[in-house]
Structure 1
């Protein structure tokens, strides 16, 4: 009876689980602790807590806010960025980002990838 849609998101603290029965509209929500040493453990715990067998799922989607959290908190490994020739600074320039146009005291945020780790190459 494939009637469930399941969504799972791994966050820094919790792994969230939401399931919807497509026939009845009933929604099941639960969460488990995230397990950084093996994130699959937290996912499996959330699935068990949800109480719906995976073979009854028509659709399963998985997401993760871990990377977003690592970027915004500036944690994790040093990262390099390789761009097409001439676009090394395009993300830092950010012409489309006018978050506070009339604020004279506005300061752009520090780039996630420092310039010394940004490379512009011709790939053709």
Structure 2
């Protein structure tokens, strides 16, 4: 059994162009906004991705580098990660991943040039 409710009075979107107006906006736009908000209130979940502090960021970097088996010393890795964060978007999981992606590419390039 499926049970669905809606607060929206106008179930089918109607556009101003349906009435001969050049506007493309929905006629009952407020209904659409209220419907989205009511769905978010009933079923929405908030997921927070908090910014890590420097030590957490460095642990993320170390973990990612270890998973990829990157041949780099811990202190060299941490220092390079700190510099990367200063010039990029700050401390975040995404920044850590981008740093490790870049580092892996550089190390791979160095190895291929040494051959």
Fold shared by both chains (TM-score > 0.5): no
Point out the structure with max Rg over C-alpha: 2
The structure, 1 or 2, with the larger RCO (C-alpha pairs under 8 Å, 6+ apart) is 1
Flag the structure with higher strand content: 1
- TM-score (norm: length of structure 2): 0.24
